[in-house]
Amino acid sequence: MPSSRDVVFVDGVRTPFGRSGPKGMYAETRADDLVVRVIRELIRRNPGLPPERVDEVAIAATTQIGDQGLTIGRAAAVLAGLPKTVPGYAIDRMCAGAMTAVTTVAGGIAFGAYDVAIAGGVEHMGRHPMGEGVDPNPRFLSEKLVDPSALVMGMTAENLHDRYPSITKQRADAYAVLSQERAAKAYADGRIQLDLVPTAIRTAERGWGLAVEDEAPRPGTTMEGLSGLKTPFRPHGKVTAGNSSGINDGATGCVVAAREVAAELGLDAKMRLVSYAFAGVDPEVMGVGPIPATERALRLAGLDISDIGLFEINEAFAVQVLAFLEHFGLADDDPRVNAYGGAIAYGHPLASSGVRLMTQLARQFGERPDVRYGITTMCVGMGMGGTVIWENLA
């Protein structure tokens, strides 16, 4: 029986995230081609990793049809030119798809089934809107298994405002402004570009181009500008397009390996996986998911929230981040939380976002050798949360 091995995050990259829809930069680019670009860049950036040493390619997509179907991990591995001996598969845990791809291959590495794996996610929400082609069982509503609002993410965010009356629209808007400001500063400081892979794009109208930066950020966002936005999910509600993540296209990927194998190949391991946990919550308040997931991950690691020096929380909605911060007694503007800004600025191409969080945390770890532990956490549609705790190897 193999003994458990340390699992390390070696490197992570992503395509720039685009705005979904006919005017978005990836409107005429295939989803699987975005994944191919990411895989090729990971191999290029890590010359010590022979492609034949990749033991698995796990790629997540929430809507697994069309160019996101055909067990996309295997399809993208073949398209990227990895040897045909490298297997691959697809994963779906909605927004936590890429996160689950990482934890799943990490389990295989710890067990000894793999030495090195590539994990990531893609979502082309312009081609495949969330829920395209699904047929929810009528029993969900007829037997009152979930509240009708559970199937509309924006309504679950309004429900969360109800549950946390102290989280006002003003607080949510202020958090959104902060996310945009931090993202703009991270761009200005050259932090984000280091892990973006320039991606060829083409449209019939404009011909060829190159995507080199995220399309979604709105630098210069103000409280005044946000205050007048519509509340589409509820009359006089609190959730707007300004204090939520957008509808986006993009892909992410990372190299995960056994610690001793990374050392053998001369790969620069950036962080060690300490523990991870997923938790279920009422689907109609799915935004609270990161709270029990984090509590469980901390318990498994024998750590306390005070041990965590950096937080990467996916900003599906401002209210969901604020609920997490309120629960753990952290300030709305805590500098340890989403130091480079989050999904409210960059966008949230569902299944890909988990690895964006990890890549940003790894980058911060490199700048902060004084910080030992960090977490990546996110809420998940259908009422879940996922959290991974990492140790800084810098």
The 10 Å Cβ neighbour count of residue 2 is 8
In a domain, 351, yes or no: yes
Which of 124, 128, 161, 348 is the catalytic position? 348
The model's confidence at residue 151, banded by pLDDT at 50, 70 and 90, is confident
pLDDT band at 2 (very low <50, low <70, confident <90, very high): low
pLDDT of residue 214: 98
- Domain assignment present for residue 294? The answer is yes
Distance CA 224, CA 266 (A): 51
* Portion of the chain with pLDDT greater than 90, in percent: 95
Is residue 95 one of the residues assigned to a domain?
yes
188: in domain: no
Q: Enumerate the β-bridge partners of residue 121.
A: 60, 252
pLDDT of residue 374: 98
Residue 259 lies in a domain: yes
pLDDT in tens, 30-64: 999 999 999 999 999 999 999 999 999 999 999 99
- Among candidate residues 124, 128, 161, 379, the one labeled active-site is 379
What H or E segment, with its residue span, contains residue 308? strand 308-313
Residue 95 a catalytic site member? yes
Q: How far is CA 32 from the centre of its chain?
A: 18
Classify 223 as helix, strand or coil.
Answer: helix
| Helix-strand-coil split of the chain, %, nearest 5 | 40, 20, 40
Residue 343 lies in a domain: yes
Dist CA 58 CA 113 (whole Å): 14
Domain count across the chain: 1
Q: Supply the CATH number for residue 103's domain.
A: 3.40.47.10
The reply to whether 29 falls in a domain is yes
Answer whether 314's CB lies under 8 Å from 341's CB. no
Say whether 348 is catalytic: yes
Q: What is the largest CA-CA distance in the chain?
A: 61
Structural domain of 107: 7-127+245-389
Residues 106, 113: Cα–Cα separation, whole Å: 10
Q: Which two tokens stand for residue 93?
A: 């845990």
- Give a yes or no: residue 156 inside a domain: no
- 368-388 residue pLDDT tens: 999 999 999 999 999 999 999
C-alpha to C-alpha distances, 263 to 42, 48, 120, 258, 268, nearest whole angstrom: 17, 10, 22, 9, 8
Q: What is the pLDDT of residue 394?
A: 87
Q: For residue 1, what pLDDT is reported? A: 54
Options 95, 128, 161, 254, the catalytic residue: 95
Contact 218, 180 (CB under 8 A): yes
3 state SS of 352: helix
